[in-house]
């Protein structure tokens, strides 16, 4: 600290970077940042993935002094960043296939190791479809071998690039193009979204973390932490998608925050299979507050609403809160 600061919002860094010591300032606060995902790309207005990727990759670039290579799965991030012959990527970057980003990352890491360039680090990244569905085998293999790759999943809870179809990360109740809001039980009726952070933890890999684009400084810190560790690491970032969620472009960060504050998206870190820290809920909200602004959940409300589904989603949030200890019991805001 350069000077003692009175924090009006305790536990956050929202007081402004210039009051913080340089090592505490965000990567994006620096004019020296890399701009790894440069402007000019074709992401939609309010795209959570573009925001999350820029912060994550820039943080990884700073943590590795620019010695970074990225492998990318097919998906929105790949398509909007590289409309031929242009590219937004300001780092060595390869897109191979939809389902193999983790394995391509393994190959790059192996090449760097064999060439004696272990200082060059590797990230692999994809959306939830490329991570939880089609790329799951390669990802699990990379985890199990403990290859020196940080895999980043930008989770917007459906196949947005192909037109909003259900993925195994799609939450219950959500309308997608393949879980239509019609019939007696509209929307996705099964599951709660494949919980890949917990699956990653089951591989006992050195580091697993979740983050949202509502707390970008936390995201940066987790990337930095991940790059300080060797071996397989997994970072799961919730990135709202205005197009697929049917939400306003200006609500991306608010929705990400509500996902966390409702307990639906627990934000935590884990090392070697054990949870080491959780981000506590500051102002708990019922899930309804998170769901209502999203058209993908519109069929749950109104006269023909799906009360039982709302109760089911609330129960999932309650279970997360209990399971991860998301409420600070000392603060008096427990149930």
Sites of contact with other proteins (CB under 8 A):
66-69, 71-72, 78-79, 82-85, 87, 89-97, 99-100, 103-116, 120, 137-138, 140-141, 144-145
Give the nearest distance from C-beta 248 to other proteins in angstroms. Answer: 28
Cα distance between residue 286 and residue 34, in whole Å: 39
Give the number of C-alpha atoms closer than 13 A to the C-alpha of residue 53, restricted to the C-beta side.
33
Shortest distance, position 33 Cβ to other proteins, whole Å: 15
11 vs 137, which CB is nearer to other proteins? 137
Q: What is the largest CA-CA distance in the chain?
A: 65
219-250 as b/e, with b when 16 or more CB fall inside 10 Å?
A: bbbbbebbbeeeebbbbbbbbbbbbbbbbeee
Q: Least distance to other proteins from the beta carbon of 163, Å?
A: 16
Indicate the residue among 87 and 168 with the shorter CB distance to other proteins: 87
Closest CB to other proteins among residues 100, 262: 100
Q: Which is nearer to other proteins, 111 or 182 (CB)?
A: 111
Q: How would you label 7-37 residue by residue, b for 16+ Cβ within 10 Å and e otherwise?
A: eeeeeebeeebeebeeeebbbbbeeebbebb
Nearer to other proteins (CB atom), residue 40 or residue 66: 66
Instruction: Retrieve residue 224's tokens.
Output: 């930095």
- In the bound state with other proteins, the residue whose beta carbon lies nearer, of 88 and 247, is 88
Q: How far is the CB of 133 from other proteins (least distance, A)?
A: 14
Classify residue 150 by its DSSP letter. E
Q: Is the bond into 333 cis (omega within 30 degrees of 0)?
A: no
C-alpha to C-alpha distance for 193 and 254, rounded to whole angstroms: 21
Closest approach, Cβ 117 to other proteins, in A, equals: 9
Q: Cβ 58 to other proteins, closest distance in Å?
A: 14
């Amino acid at each position: 600290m350069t000077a003692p600061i009175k924090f009006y919002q305790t536990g956050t860094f929202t007081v402004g970077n210039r009051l913080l010591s340089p090592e505490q300032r965000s990567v994006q606060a620096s004019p020296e940042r890399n701009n790894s995902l440069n402007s000019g790309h074709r992401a939609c207005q309010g795209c959570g993935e573009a925001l999350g990727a820029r912060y994550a990759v820039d943080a990884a670039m700073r943590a590795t002094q620019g010695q970074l290579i990225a492998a990318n799965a097919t998906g929105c991030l790949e398509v909007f960043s590289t409309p031929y012959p242009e590219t937004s990527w300001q780092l060595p970057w390869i897109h191979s296939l939809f389902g193999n980003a983790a394995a391509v990352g393994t190959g790059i890491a192996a090449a760097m190791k064999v060439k004696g360039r272990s200082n060059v680090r590797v990230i692999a990244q994809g959306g939830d479809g490329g991570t939880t569905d089609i790329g799951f085998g390669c990802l699990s293999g990379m985890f199990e071998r403990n290859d020196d790759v940080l895999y980043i999943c930008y989770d917007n809870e459906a196949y947005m690039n192909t037109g909003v179809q259900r993925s195994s990360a799609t939450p219950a109740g959500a309308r997608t193009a393949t879980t239509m809001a019609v019939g007696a039980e509209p929307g996705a009726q099964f599951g709660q979204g494949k919980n890949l952070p917990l699956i990653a933890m089951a591989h006992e890999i050195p580091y697993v973390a979740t983050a949202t684009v509502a707390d970008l400084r936390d995201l940066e810190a987790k990337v930095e932490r991940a790059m300080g560790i060797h071996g397989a690491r997994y970072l799961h970032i919730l990135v709202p998608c205005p197009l697929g969620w049917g939400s306003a472009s200006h609500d991306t960060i608010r929705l990400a925050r509500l996902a966390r504050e409702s307990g639906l998206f627990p934000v935590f870190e884990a090392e070697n299979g054990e949870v080491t820290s959780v981000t506590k809920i500051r102002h708990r909200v019922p899930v309804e507050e998170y769901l209502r602004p999203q058209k993908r959940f519109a069929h749950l409300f109104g006269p023909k609403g799906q009360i039982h589904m709302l109760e089911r989603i609330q129960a999932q949030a309650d279970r997360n809160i209990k399971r991860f200890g998301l409420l600070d019991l000392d603060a008096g805001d427990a149930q």
